[in-house]
Structure 1
Amino acid sequence: MNRLHALAAVGAVAVVVAIALYPSQSAGDSQTSSGTRETTAPATVEASPAFNEQRLNSEPVASSSASPETRQALETLLRQLNDARSYRQFIAAALKDAPRGGFIYAAEASQQCDKFQSARDSTKPQATSNQALQSAALLEARCDITSDEFFERLSAALSAEKATLNSDPLFAMLVPNSSGKSREDSLRQARALLDSGDPIAMESLVHLDFRDPIGETPYFDGHHYRSPADRDLMDDAWLLVECSLGLVCDAEATQTLLLCATRDWCGSDVAEALQIGRGPDGTFVQVQTLANSLLSAIRSKRAAAFVPAS
């Protein structure tokens, strides 16, 4: 199951749990995210080995369906996620704005920390270079909230917002596919995600196969990414897509640190880290090519590219 469908399903369950267990508890911390850094415009991926010389400024997808207030809230959440140095503080602040995307953004931060912790708990060989150890230390400091605490805060926030959570445009876009729909339903969901212009929500675009209710197998433009190698290719391509849609991907970005700490692919940004890691087997160009194809479909809002014909 892809990460956002899983989180949306957890959210639906958590509404019931919150009503039962947290009838009067508030969302908790009132502290907002702290620590900001100057960032440059993210790069548009270029399908060329000389990508460092051919970067262009990103062109975020404009949202046409969300209200001005929701668009402003999503822009604020993205900026706060990019700047966050304490995910505990970011999650507390995001959950206070759950009806306008805060739930999904809080869940995304928690999911990144879970990914880091899972890699540390894995029996696979650990990255041991000095740079990887430094990246791990930065991630450990940033991930200053446990999964248990996240779910406690989530349940409290959902209890407080139970009457308005369904108005969260991102939550509403991610939930429908969980029960299995028709092709037209998946197309409508794809159009809504494309219209949102949100880089976090749009990750679900490649998990909209209406014949695959839990979105287990990524799909794009006529191809199902079923094998582990194919899934890894899609995952890495999507990292580049997110960088081009507004997620900061510099040396201090969570995704860059994760690549270094968990895979020993250490670079000045996500693209360089992927080039270092995938350069020896020649697959980085494949990642770039797929990322560019995804970006083209997203910017032209070609919903049919994300839903199989039959």
Structure 2
Amino acid sequence: GKHRLTENIKQIILELIPNITTNTLHRLVTHAKSIQKRIPPWFKQQLNQNREWSPNEVVKFKDDLNEDQYGIWQTNSLLQLRVTSSGHGTPIGTPWPTNDWILEDEFTKVSTWGSRAPELHTPAIRGAQHETYPPSEGWLTSKNEPIKLTDLSIRRMTLMFTNRTGPPACQKRWDGILHSQIEWKKVWRTLQNTFSNPYDTKTWLRLVHRGLRLNSNDKATTDKKCRLCQTTRESHAHLLTCNRLNELRRLVLKLLNGLLLRRRRPPGALPGQDLQRGELLADPQLSGSGVRAAPHAARRRNASASQRDSVVIF
């Protein structure tokens, strides 16, 4: 960003290419001066900003032998670091006073990686910022939130790149498979209930999002049939009606009935398989139904609340 005179440009080129011809030197000087003119003012201002130094910041500097060293700068002193084979720095020696130092001339910004380090060690040192890429700091998300590359994880990237402006794609897919308009608000409410935690509902969540690992979507498996009944192609829709799961469904319904819950059959629900009186629905939640507390349970809760409200403190 610094404006250089013609003689200064010639000197730099001759240092880099001592045997250059006069004509080539003249063309390079002309080209370099044209590049200088095209640099926008705002870019030059960014280059001329004064760098700020923070206490306990890792910096790069030159020692008395003009060799590159790393250190931790404190308010009025510099503590030299020995960089281990793992890239972490450990303090050595005694601090050097820096009261009369011009930090802008003595120090170079350093790029580190991560925040975890062994005890009495710095984070892993990558080198000078102008010599390393990509930098860990200085990034923004699509919502203009600052973030470090070392803080990225699969979970965080999934949340960042997930499109939350519309409903999940699985809703349209399930509506087409079951040929019905599912009450999706009720479906999503089943993922948060008082009987289970997020880990318990992990399989149910994957089923709703059509993310279970099945024979039909496993490229390493040649047999695409259901592992339970061995008669039908294994798919998410088939799991809702596979007759080998009937006993499990009976057990779940029995447990729900034992917890004073009852099931409401919606109109047009899918009939069950191998169960008497059409007892089984393909899935109460996916069919637009749900479970709700029995009326007498609600009355009991209301009565308890009334008793609490009627207590008088003297």
TM-score range relative to shorter protein: under 0.3
Structure 1 length-normalised TM: 0.20
Larger radius of gyration: 2
Structure 2 length-normalised TM: 0.20
